[in-house]
Amino acid sequence: MCGTCGCNIPQTIADGHESVEVLIGLLDANDHQAAHNREHFNEHGVLAINLMSSPGAGKTALLEATIEAFDGKVRIAVIEGDLETENDAERIRAKGVPAIQISTGSACHLDAHMVHGALHDLDLQGIDILFIENVGNLVCPASFDLGQHFNVALLSTPEGHDKPAKYPVMFRAADLVLVTKSDLLAVLDDFDPTEALRCLRQLASSAPMLDLSAKTGDGMRGWVDWVEEAIA
């Protein structure tokens, strides 16, 4: 683990005792805040799900399709994390769901303090599920507890089936892996769902892996069932 980001301190620098102390202080502070966030969620009966993936793997498209699938039967809210732009929050609001945008500037992940700040702008009493769409990054977000109940990692088919082997920290942290953009499988030659599952199992992860396409709706039922079971 490195500095404030959750990645390794370069070996040549990590030897400094002071750096390590700062690191531990930062992660302790994050964990403390995350526990506090989780208490908030539990008090109000809110299920919090942290969505993580590479940039452009389809987190926002998944949320749009999820909101449509639930069709108002559960009360959804979204926290959007991006370096810049309010684009994603606007897409969610266009579906009639409250969305708070966190602009992280140059920060590569959300942390528990940022999420806590956003909670002040949400009426938790009126929410059943809070989706937290993390910054698009397959490394750093995995190391920061936000207070969520579940981590869901998206792996889009164009990225290739080897990603669980190459980004083990993220996929080990996942309670569920969604293989997104399954509609592209027919035109891709480097994504075999069986191989993706094998890579995941080699991390000693027993997380379920579901294929879906937010575009065509294929496989959305399995995801919605998972969410409903998580609420119950």
Answer whether 92's CB lies under 8 Å from 80's CB: yes
Q: How far is the CB of 14 from a second copy (least distance, A)?
A: 9
CA distances from 133 to 28, 81, 92, 186 (A): 23, 6, 11, 28
Bridge partners (DSSP) listed for residue 99: 78
Which chain residues interact with a second copy by CB under 8 A? Answer: 1-13, 16, 18-19, 22-23, 25-26, 29-30, 54-56, 82-85, 87, 104-109, 111, 113-114, 135-140, 143, 156, 158-160, 162-163, 165-169, 181, 184, 187, 189, 215
Distance, in Å, from the CA atom of 45 to the CA atom of 126, rounded to the nearest integer, reads: 10
Q: Report whether 46 contacts 67 (CB < 8 A).
A: no
Distance between CA atoms of 133 and 226, rounded to whole angstroms? 18
Residue closer to a second copy (CB basis): 114 or 220:
114
Q: Identify which of residues 87 and 125 has a Cβ nearer to a second copy in the complex.
A: 87
φ, ψ (nearest 5 deg) of residue 88? -70, -40
Residues contacting 72, CB < 8 A, separation 6+: none
Closest CB to a second copy among residues 176, 196? 196
Smallest gap from Cβ 225 to a second copy, in A, equals 26
CB closer to a second copy out of 62 and 129: 62
Question: Which uninterrupted H or E stretch holds 63?
Answer: helix 59-70
Could you tell me the smallest distance in angstroms from the CB atom of residue 126 to a second copy? 27
Q: Which is nearer to a second copy, 76 or 154 (CB)?
A: 154
Please state the closest distance from residue 86 (CB atom) to a second copy, in A: 11
How many helices (H) does the chain have, and how many strands (E)?
A: 9, 7
Least distance in angstroms from the C-beta of 63 to a second copy: 15
Nearer to a second copy, 98 or 141 (CB): 141
The nearest distance, CB 85 to a second copy, in angstroms, is 5
